[in-house]
Structure formats: C-alpha cells, structure tokens
Structure 1
C-alpha cells in the first residue's frame, strides 16, 4: 500500500490541464480563468467625490467658520465645466468628478447653505474625501490571476474592468460509473438483497460543485459484459470515476475487466481509512479513478483525490485538502498502520481554540455521520494514544460539501 500523499502525487501526475475556451462574462461564474484578467479601463477614470457635500479648495477652509460662494452643482454622471476659484464651492454628490481647482470635499453635515453661499463649519485637508483617479485599478492592471475560480466578486470586478469576454478552461467531463448488483437508483424497486445507491448522485453533485460536468453512465452489473460496455461509454470524457468493485473478492471485477480493456494500472490500495481500495490508472487514454463502494469512503476519497484532480484539469493550483490545526475533543486510542480520517464536529474551547470531537462510530457506511461532520480529523499511521486537548490536524468540510 502507498501513502495518501504518494497517491495524490501520482494521480495529479497522470492528468493534464484542459484547453481554454471563450465565454461571455455572464457565463463566467464557476469557471476557471485560463488567462489573467486585465483591466481595460481605469477606475475611477478621474478624481471623484467619496461623499455628498461641497467641493472646495482646502486653503479656503483652513480657518472656519468661513463663507464661500456657491459656483455650481454637480451630481453623479455630470461634470462641472468651470473652475473652482478662491472663495468658491461647488455642490457635489458621491461619485461625481471633482471640479478643476477643487482639492477637497467638505461633507454636507459640516456645512450649511444660506442662499447663494455655504457656511463651512469644519475644515478639511487637501485630498480629503477625494478618490484619486485609478484608486481602484488602472488600465493594464491584473485583477485576477489565471487559475482562479470565478466567484461573484471576480465577476463584478471583470465587469468594472470592462471585460465582456473571458478565456476560461473547458469544464472537465467526469464520467461516473457505480458498480454492483446490490444497488439501485433512488425511486426504483428495491430487491430483497439490494440497497439504494447514493454514490452516483453524491459524486455527480460533488463534480458539479467543483466546476466539472458529470456524465452518468448508469449502474454496471456484476458481470463482465455490463462493466465493459458501460466503461467504454467513458471515451471522450476527461476522467472516469468508478465506485465499488475494487476490493478483494470474486465479484470485484473492475481491475480485471478494465485490465482486459487496456487499463494501465498505476496503483491499487492506499494506506488510509476509510478508502483503502482506491485505484488509479489510464483506460485507453482516459484517466480512471476507482473509488471504494462504501458511500463515506467514496466521498472522503473525493475530498482527498477527486477534488485536486478536477482542480488540475481546470488549471487551478493544487487543491490538496487544506488542513488546519485544532485541539482534540475526546481521548483516542492508538492508530494502526493506516492514515485515519475520522468524521468530527467542530466547536470552540472556552479560550477560543478550535476543537474537533470525533464521532464514537466511524463505520465507512455511515453517511449520516458524514453529513453531520464539520471536518475530517487526520491521524498519522501508528499514532500513539492521544488525550483530549492535544493538537490535531483537520480537513474542514464546509467549503467542500457546502449546504451539507
């Protein structure tokens, strides 16, 4: 068995970044930039007022109270054509260009209009409440780097930078193939020895949330012809993900059947729990990731291996499960030779430290506990008994499973 880190390294080495395509900005949400986002304009394009008030010369309000003649008015979207001279002020609103000659804004709460004059009660220094040209960005500035997943903030920035079209990575097409006579899809009749399959739908949702396009191949029965036919339908996809059929047993056909179809196996079995029977290889030019059949094992492996795999295809930085530090919330016994990923909840200790408390039951079929978990608590192989309060590594799940 190989380590989790070695398995991740070998999976990523077997994947290549997908080509780029052009999309309109309105379709950019959830896409990964293939090129830097570069501003096509300067924002603001000229000095503008940051507040509603009066555009003045700072020298005229150095001593207050003072009385200034109102030379004009300038709402947002318009421009004062003249120049603010000594002893003058211009009524201005947020976002409006600062008139020539003015170098500061007196906010409206600090001044009172009296006929054709304004009485200023609080002085301001030069530059006060003035947003200089290019304060946000200038034409040619890089706003978002290539490899970044476009979220609402980045979409808004692209719009402000006057970028209507973007070069993004093509969405990876991920074929999903659950296997086994014992599973049926939700809503189908359930036989005496069958269970409802959650893996296909959960992994499809996971792929979609990570920016990929899931391709449902259906359920392969435990016979060679069914598995070979459905696996062949993955041609043209960027990644094939199977679940089940990878353990040791006479009905575990994935390795043998796909081997006959040309699977070049890179590795099989890793030293982790849950998720030992994980495999990776290349099937007729399509990378193939074989996940365990137990639903918790499949999703934990999706977090640790499928997520960074999709990130690599999309040209994103390595999204290996980001670990954080916490303190242990309950005593744990010694660990065996496998790296353990325990489902756990998170809270805060009285002194504000993050605390991870593992569930007493960690069975790899217990999906309810995974949904209730806030993180995976990572234990190294051969870890000794550990008392509550000791530092531990965790993989937060909130950003991975979202609303779950």
Structure 2
C-alpha cells in the first residue's frame, strides 16, 4: 500500500482498477444525461429531401435574372406536403419553411422581396440558382456515424437522435453506489441536538453529488465508531459497483474505516493524499469493487469527491471526458503558506474575457459553508507561499447538475 501520494498518482492507481459497468437499451425518453455505449449511425439523410429554410417562392432561376421578373404561381407547398407537380421556366410555387423543393425549381426567394396579385408574382430582387435551399443530406448523410461511445446524451444529442428516427439507444447502466457515514458524534436531522453531537450533513451532500453524477445511491444508516457495525454495513453493499464512506479516515483511535476495509477483505491501494483539504483519504478494492474512504470534515469530503471520486465514477460509467484544468487570475488573496498542495474554493468571475477566481473567505476543511456558491477549485502548489491578488494559477470546475 502506498501512502501520502500525489493526486495524479492516486488517479493512476484508481483508473487502472476501474471496470466499465454493463450496458442496457433504453428508450430515448429515458436517455437524458446517460453515457452512450455504442456508436449511432444515421439510417437516413438529414434533411431527407431538398427543403426551404424560409417562407417565400421557389422557381427556376437563371444567372441572367438581374432585373425584376414576373412569374405565374401554379401551386402552394406547406411543410409536410410533398409537391404534386414539377416547375418549369416562368412558373413559381409559394413555399413555406421546411417544405420540400419541387422538381425543376432551383432557388427560393424571400416572401418580403416579392409582390403578388392573383396568380402573378413579382420578384423584385431575383436570386441566383441554388439560393436558399437546404440540400438533402447537407447536415447528415445516410451511413454517417453521428455519436460515438462515451458521448454524454445531452438534450441536443437526444434531439438529434429523435430527428433521425432513433427510438432506443444502448447506454451504460447507471453506477450503483453505496454510501455510509461513520462517527459516534453523528445525529440524524430532525432530532434535538444533544451535547457533543453534530448533525449528519455528509450523507446529504454526498448523496446529492452522487445523484447529480447520474448514480443510483443506496444510503446506509450512519454507524458509530465501532468495528463490527462498520464491517457489517460495508458488507451490505456487496451488490454495489462502488462504495463511498465518510468519517473514520484519519489516525485517531476511533478512525476505523481502513481497518474495516481490511476486515471485510479489501486490498488497500493507498492511504493519504498529499494535498489539503482531504489528506486522510484511502481507496481499497475487493473483486473489482472500489471502496473510497473520505474525510469526515464536510468540505474536505466534498473536495476529495470532486478530485478523485467523480472522475472515477465517470470512467466507470463509460464517459471518456475527464475534468480539465485551465488558467485563472486570482481576484483575492490567501495568506497561508505550507508544504502541501492546497485546493482553494472560489467563485468564477469573468473580467474582460478572462476567468478570475474569487476565493471564499473561509477555507477550513470542516467549513461546509465554503462550498456553497463556489464553482472552482484553485490548485496552489506545495511550498507556494501566500497567494496574491492578480496572480495566475490553475483551476478546475466544480461541476453543476448534468455536467
């Protein structure tokens, strides 16, 4: 087991152990924010015919049409109706947005550039051949691969699949995650708070984060700092894809989670990350099932989740995209320095096209309020010294729902 390792080394270890979960077919209505498991190939051209992108008149244009011309209207073509006749020189058809272009016609002129009386239409500003026509297959051609495995099915992707007539897609099953909070100091919300106790907030924040990541979550009642109950509860998650625990992760006499991992047959992959907050994190594995032990300090638990657990869940669910880092300028200072790498909670501010990071006033590992309103984690290297306003650092987003 490795100890006090970098975040990058931790991810290298964890990512090598991740096994993609099984796939399933779902109806398009149930596919929002799911991860595609198979390529989707278009069975049709899109659009499936030459169509008009606007309301106007379609006719047979000539490059020599430089002055106004008068044409005879012979038909009207609304959207959804296929033309019942071809057009020849000197004729036109009134056409509406999305309607098919009739045979013979080679352009569409805007309605506002015409005048009509009875069956006579004056084209005040003639257009060239090919003007204002969306050609068959211009957007997508039959046989073209539209979406590839690992794609997140956002509303635009779902709409595209619907436009192609796709009814079902093969996606990765939602990860099933067990969640356990430990600590004899915990009390459930809704009960009168007793002396020396705190309310169990971590279950609520982590459950929300897991659900936000598209997981199915099985929440166990929190357990006190006793080894038998901890092992028993962990073993109740044997049908889960992964398990996340919070609390009992440090070096105290009552920090029993690592011992519980070993006691129920886990191989410990590492303990302690060389960063703040969230140093006392551990990961174990048992029969391809990953176990994540996070700090009991609320902000530390959330930050370690964002840095390590969320990327692991995304890979497990078949998502190819991982979080990227990007430069930010600091809109405020942070006075502390230290040997360890630190992640500051901050709010993104856009100034003259640049992203600035406004650090939260409180950065303690137990200050849950510091995460509210924060959408950036700013990476401060170990040994950096106090952070100054205007300084350039790197950051990563704290994803919001659906991302």
CA contact (8 A) 2:333 2:388 kept: yes
**1:385, 1:109 → 2: CA distance?**
64
**2:25 equivalent among 7, 11, 22:** 22
When structure 1 is superposed on structure 2, of 106-115 and 385-394 the one drifting more is: 385-394
Matched, 1:339 2:341: yes
Shift of 1:205: 1.2
Helix, strand or coil for the counterpart of 1:119? strand
CA contact (8 A) 2:271 2:283 kept: yes
Partner of 1:400: 400
Partner of 2:328: 326
**1:47, 1:98 → 2: CA distance?**
6
CA contact (8 A) 1:28 1:155 kept: yes
Matched, 1:93 2:96: yes
When structure 1 is superposed on structure 2, of 102-111 and 375-384 the one drifting more is: 375-384
CA deviation digits over 1:22-53, x for unaligned, max 9?
Answer: 11111111211000122122211110111111
CA contact (8 A) 1:54 1:106 kept: yes
**1:110 equivalent among 108, 113, 116:** 113
**1:190 equivalent among 190, 193, 197:** 193
Shift of 1:335: 3.2
Matched, 1:43 2:76: no
**1:16, 1:375 → 2: CA distance?**
29
Shift of 1:387: 2.9
Shift of 1:293: 0.6
Helix, strand or coil for the counterpart of 2:372? helix
Q: Give me the CA root mean square deviation.
A: 1.7
CA contact (8 A) 1:303 1:400 kept: no
**2:84, 2:287 → 1: CA distance?**
70
CA contact (8 A) 2:75 2:94 kept: yes
Partner of 1:83: 86
Partner of 2:382: 381
User: Which residues of 2 match residues 5-404 of structure 1 at below 5 A?
Assistant: 5-59=8-62, 62-283=65-286, 285-319=288-322, 321-333=323-335, 335-349=337-351, 351-397=352-398, 399-400=399-400
When structure 1 is superposed on structure 2, of 271-280 and 204-213 the one drifting more is: 204-213
**2:305, 2:249 → 1: CA distance?**
15
Tell me the TM-score normalized by structure 1: 0.95
Shift of 1:302: 1.0
Helix, strand or coil for the counterpart of 1:242? strand
Q: Which runs of 5+ in 1 are unaligned?
A: none
Helix, strand or coil for the counterpart of 1:174? strand
When structure 1 is superposed on structure 2, of 10-19 and 56-65 the one drifting more is: 56-65
**1:83, 1:333 → 2: CA distance?**
77
Shift of 1:258: 2.3
CA contact (8 A) 2:76 2:94 kept: yes
**2:402, 2:161 → 1: CA distance?**
25
**1:61, 1:49 → 2: CA distance?**
22
When structure 1 is superposed on structure 2, of 165-174 and 364-373 the one drifting more is: 364-373
Shift of 1:372: 2.4
The alpha-carbon distance between structure 1 residues 101 and 187, as it changes in their structure 2 partners (threshold 3 A), is: same
CA deviation digits over 1:298-333, x for unaligned, max 9?
Answer: 1111111111111111111152x3222111223444
CA contact (8 A) 1:186 1:197 kept: yes
**1:205, 1:257 → 2: CA distance?**
25
CA contact (8 A) 1:337 1:382 kept: yes
CA deviation digits over 1:134-192, x for unaligned, max 9?
Answer: 12212222222210111111111111111101100011101001101111222134322
The alpha-carbon distance between structure 1 residues 137 and 352, as it changes in their structure 2 partners (threshold 3 A), is: closer
Q: Which runs of 5+ in 2 are unaligned?
A: none
The alpha-carbon distance between structure 1 residues 20 and 365, as it changes in their structure 2 partners (threshold 3 A), is: same
